[in-house]
Amino acid sequence: MSAQIIDGNLLSQQLRQDVAARAAALTAKGNQPGLAVILVGADPASQVYVRNKVKACEDNGVFSLLEKYQADMTEAALLARIAALNNDPKIHGILVQMPLPKHIDPTKVIEAISPRKDVDGYSVLSAGELLTGLPGFRPCTPYGCMKLIESTGTKIAGKHAVVIGRSNTVGKPMALLLLQANATVTICHSGTADLGYHTRQADIVVAATGRRNTLTADMIKPGAIVIDVGINRDDNGKLCGDVDFAAAKEVAGHISPVPGGVGPMTITMLLVNTIEAAERETN
Ligand code: NDP
């Protein structure tokens, strides 16, 4: 039997209705939630990402401020802009689109964002809050993956979850969120000796490598939940994930597609974090 497709667009729509209602309530109290999006340089993929983020704000009653700068902007000038936005009461969330040009240190930039406005959840403080189980901003992509997993109605506690990938923005926070939900978690990476050995034991697999066909059907336990974070191109230039979707959906119980799975959820969780930031500042 074919897997149930986890529809990230549909779940996003549902969550964005709640976002819009909360945004309207905040606006009625005179504190419309606001997100500043900063893009340095003209990376084509980044331009699409920031456009989508700004549009999602506009569609859901969140004020957005898009600031685009030339690739030769100095690090000092960017840090000064962030300092100004940290003090701007109309702005509750600040997002600096990655990657930055090579002459700018991304860590310095992320750490310059006020912890109250770190809606990407990339700062060391936010990472520490997640690690220690304190409330705080969760990185949007793994946060969205958790919502996708929860949407299947499967109890996460007690399940074996395997996360493939250990980046600071996806793999590691994903593993911590699953741990927090009482899954037993295994983290795999490029040094893992036998990836399939681990994934075949998994009730939940999250693939976040950025490599096509990292997870093939023979590596999936029948009935497992498969979440595909990867964004890749196939030989025909078509968007695809890390999972061999066509074959994997014949084995998995639930599977998220690419596109239409994790992608829309990432932006939705950015909106959720921005609303939460604004709600914290509103009486
Ligand atoms: P990184 O390149 O930072 O990390 C990739 C991770 O995958 C690394 O930990 C790497 O291991 C591991 N890896 C690579 N190849 C293999 C392999 N063959 N077997 C096992 N592990 C492997 O990428 P990100 O975490 O930033 O992103 C991952 C993917 O998700 C990308 O395709 C990215 O575009 C996509 N993405 C999608 C988003 C969305 O909204 N849909 C948002 C963010 C990312 P090691 O650490 O050993 O090098």
Domain ranges for the chain, please list them.
29-115, 139-262
Residues 19, 147 contacting (CB under 8 angstroms) = no
Probe residue for ligand 1, chosen from 138, 167, 215 as the CB with the greatest number of ligand atoms within 8 Å: 167
Report field, pTM of the whole predicted structure over 0.90: yes
According to the annotation, is 158 in a ligand binding site?
no
Per residue in 173-228, pLDDT (tens digit) is: 999 999 999 999 999 999 999 999 999 999 999 999 999 999 999 999 999 999 99
Interval between CA 248 and ligand 1 midpoint (Å): 19
- Torsions phi, psi for 183 (to 5 deg): -80, 160
pLDDT of 5 reads: 98
Residues in the chain, how many?
Answer: 283
pLDDT at 10 over 90: yes
Closest atom of ligand 1 relative to the 144 alpha carbon: 40
CATH superfamily of this structure's domain 29-115:
Leucine Dehydrogenase, chain A, domain 1 (3.40.50.10860)
Taking a C-beta distance cutoff of 8 angstroms, is the pair 170, 139 a contact?
Answer: yes
Ligand 1 binding pocket includes 195 (Cβ within 6 Å): yes
Please tell me if the domain spanning 29-115 has the same topology as the one spanning 139-262.
yes
Rounded Cα–Cα distance for residues 87 and 114 (Å): 9
**Does the CB atom of residue 98 touch ligand 1 within 6 A?**
no
Q: What CATH number should be reported for the domain whose range is 139-262?
A: 3.40.50.720
Q: Strand 225-228 vs strand 204-207: parallel, antiparallel, or unpaired?
A: parallel
Question: For the segment 49-82, what is each residue's pLDDT rounded down to a tens digit?
Answer: 999 999 999 999 999 999 999 999 999 999 999 9
Mark whether 32 is an active-site residue.
Answer: no
Is 46 annotated as belonging to a binding site? no
Are 172 and 229 in contact, with CB atoms under 8 Å apart?
no
Residue 165, marked binder: yes
Distances, alpha carbon 167 to alpha carbons 89, 110, 209, in Å: 32, 16, 9
Q: Which residues contact 265 (CB under 8 A, 6 or more apart)?
A: 8, 11, 12, 140, 141, 144, 145, 147, 148
* Active-site entry in 7, 17, 43, 97: 97
Cα–ligand 1 centroid distance for 280 (angstroms):
32
Question: What is the mean pLDDT of the segment spanning 119-134?
Answer: 98
239-240 and 254-255 beta bridge pairing: unpaired
Quote the tokens at residue 43: 């990376």
Closest alpha carbon to 35 in 50, 48, 14: 50
Could you give the percent of the chain with pLDDT greater than 90?
99
**Helix residue ranges, H only, 118-157:** 124-132, 140-150
Residue 4 confidence class, pLDDT cut points 50, 70, 90: very high
A 10 A CB-CB count for 274 gives 31
- Nearest CA, atom 34, ligand 1: 231
Residues 6+ apart with CB under 8 A from 132: none
pLDDT score at 1: 78
